[in-house]
Amino acid sequence: MDTNENLGMNRRDFVKFAAGAAVVAGVATAFPTAAMAADPFPMPALPYADNALEPVISARTISFHYGKHTAAYYKAINTLYAEKKLSGTLEGVIAATHGKDDMAAVYNNAAQSWNHTFYWNCLKPGGGGEPKGKLADAIQAAFGSFPAFGEKLVADGLGQFGSGWVWLVQKDGKLSIMKTPNAVCPLATGFKPVFVLDVWEHAYYLDYQNLRKDYLMAALGKLANWDFAAKQLG
Ligand code: FE2
C-alpha cells in the first residue's frame, strides 16, 4: 500500500508525504509545510488549498485548526521526541505511550498529530455522497445501509461528551464506529482507522458555533473523501 495513503509515519515517509501532497495537490498554501528539516515528523501540507473546503469549513477555521492547532501538536511531539530521546515511527510512539500516565504529553501530542493528518486526508473539496466498491460493500455489511451508517456516525459524534473524535474503524475485517475522547487514537487498541471526523470545538465553532450536528452532517455529506477511506481498508 502506498505510504502516502496509509500514513505509515516514520520520518522518511513523513517527508515524502509532505512533499508528495504539495505536488499532487498542485496548490500553494499559506501555512508552514515541512517545518524544519531536522524535525523527525514534519507537518504534512494540507492536501488542498486553505479555502477549498468552503462553504462547509471556512478558510478561517482552517487557519486556526491546521495553521495553529495541528501545527502546535507537531511542534510539541517533535520537541518531546528529541527531549526524551524517543525512536521509531509516530505510530510506534502512540502504541508505546498509550495508557502511561508519565508519558501522557508524548501520547497526546503524537496521537493528535497523527489524528489530524488523518482527518485532513479524510476531507476533500467536492467530496461526500456515497462510497463505491469495496468500502460501500463493507459499510452495507456492517450497518445495513449507507444512511444507517451515516446516522450512527453523526449520532456518535454528537454523543461524544466534550472533545474527541468519531471514527470508522476496522478490526478482524469488520467495520464499526468508535468515538474517542481527547487525543485517543484507535491505533493504540488494535483498530485500523478508515475515516474520521474531528469533534473538538476548534473543528467547527467558528463556522457552526455550538451546532456540532450541523458540522458533522455537512462534513460527512459534502466533504468525505471516500477514495482515501477505501484505501485504508485491510
Ligand atoms: Fe482538531
- pLDDT tens digits, 151-178: 999 999 999 999 999 999 999 999 999 9
Ranges in the chain annotated CATH 1.10.287.990: 3-51+58-121
**Any alpha helices (H) in 160-225, and if so which ranges?**
205-208, 212-223
d(CA 204, CA 202): 6
- Compute the distance from residue 44 Cα to the ligand 1 centre, in Å: 15
Local structure of 101: helix, strand or coil: helix
- pLDDT tens digits, 169-214: 999 999 999 999 999 999 989 999 999 999 999 999 999 999 999 9
- Compute the distance from residue 165 Cα to the ligand 1 centre, in Å: 9
Q: At 38, is the pLDDT very low, low, confident or very high (cuts 50, 70, 90)?
A: confident
More confident residue, 134 or 33: 134
- Compute the distance from residue 199 Cα to the ligand 1 centre, in Å: 7
Radius of gyration of the chain from its Cα atoms, rounded to whole angstroms: 17
Specify the pTM.
0.85
- Compute the distance from residue 75 Cα to the ligand 1 centre, in Å: 15
d(CA 112, CA 196): 13
**Mean pLDDT, rounded, of the chain:** 88
Does domain 133-232 fall under CATH 3.55.40.20? My reply is: yes
Residue 140 has pLDDT above 60, yes or no: yes
What is the second-level CATH architecture of the domain 3-51+58-121? Orthogonal Bundle (1.10)
- Compute the distance from residue 7 Cα to the ligand 1 centre, in Å: 18
Ranges in the chain annotated CATH 3.55.40.20: 133-232
Report whether 179 contacts 165 (CB < 8 A): yes
- Compute the distance from residue 202 Cα to the ligand 1 centre, in Å: 6
- Compute the distance from residue 85 Cα to the ligand 1 centre, in Å: 27
